[in-house]
Amino acid sequence: MAYETILYEVESQVATLTINRPKALNALSPQVLDEVSRAIDEAAADKSVRVMILTGAGKAFVAGADIAVMSTMSPLEARRFARKGQEVLFMLERLEKPVIAAVNGFALGGGCEISMACDFIWASEKAKFGQPEVNLGVMPGFGGTQRLSRLVGKNWAKELCLTGGMISADQAKEIGLVNRVFPADEFMSEVNKMAQEMAGKGRVALRGIKNMVDEGYDLPLERALSMEAEAFATCFASNDQKEGMSAFLEKRKPKFRTNFR
């Protein structure tokens, strides 16, 4: 499938989606969002893909939404643009395969928002995070006020959104936005190593863990635990469970083969 604003490749069961507008610092235009959506669908349909990496070309991850496009929008057009962005980010969350946000540089506005829709964030020491929309007379529209508060708490979310300031990768790690920070020259090597490690896990378990953490997060504990028990039981209907436990007892590395879309 041909793309103009992103790069998409699959190698060794890992799909890498790279926002590829380096001259525009990978700003999210409607075309970029459409192409990201198509790539997510492609990864979902490809049984060889077990893990996805989302990153950016050049010195930015994604430096925000495309201001040149937004500057002339009417309120109705702005609403449609926000909903389009939100829908694409929901697609990332709902992809039944783990997605690593590999934040190599600026993750501002829409860039911070798209990283938060991934399953976890690994960052280069050069990365910067922020929600600077208030500096433009607007506010986050792709989920920034909502996902950020759920990840780091209301106070930090309000500070970042109300001041429009940027924080470093280390600061982002301190407040719980980022999982790990790596030296720039080791960054993508470490991301790819983790992606390959996860790709070797059982697919049924990967899907179940991702779904349960996301779906159970806002539910009452008793209901969420009941759902977890059902998902746990489902694993025992798969070849993955049989292979994983047999390999453990036989002291060998498991070879998981279960496929799903």
Q: Is 15 helix (H, G, I), strand (E, B) or coil?
A: strand
Helices (H) and strands (E) in the chain, counts: 11, 10
Euclidean distance between CA atoms 136 and 149, whole angstroms:
21
Task: For residue 64, give Cα distances in angstroms to 42, 205, 221.
Answer: 24, 34, 36
Residues with catalytic function: 113, 133
Q: If you search the block for the tokens 């049984």, which residue do you land on?
A: 47
Residue 247 C-alpha from the chain's centroid:
31
Q: Could you tell me which of 61, 67, 69, 66 has the C-alpha nearest to residue 22?
A: 61
Compute φ and ψ for 195, nearest 5 degrees. -60, -45
Residue 115 C-alpha from the chain's centroid:
5
Euclidean distance between CA atoms 173 and 98, whole angstroms:
20
Q: Could you tell me which of 248, 214, 244, 243 has the C-alpha nearest to residue 231?
A: 214
- Reported as type and span, the H/E element at residue 11 is strand 6-11
| Sign (positive or negative) of CA dihedral 154, 157, 158, 159 | positive
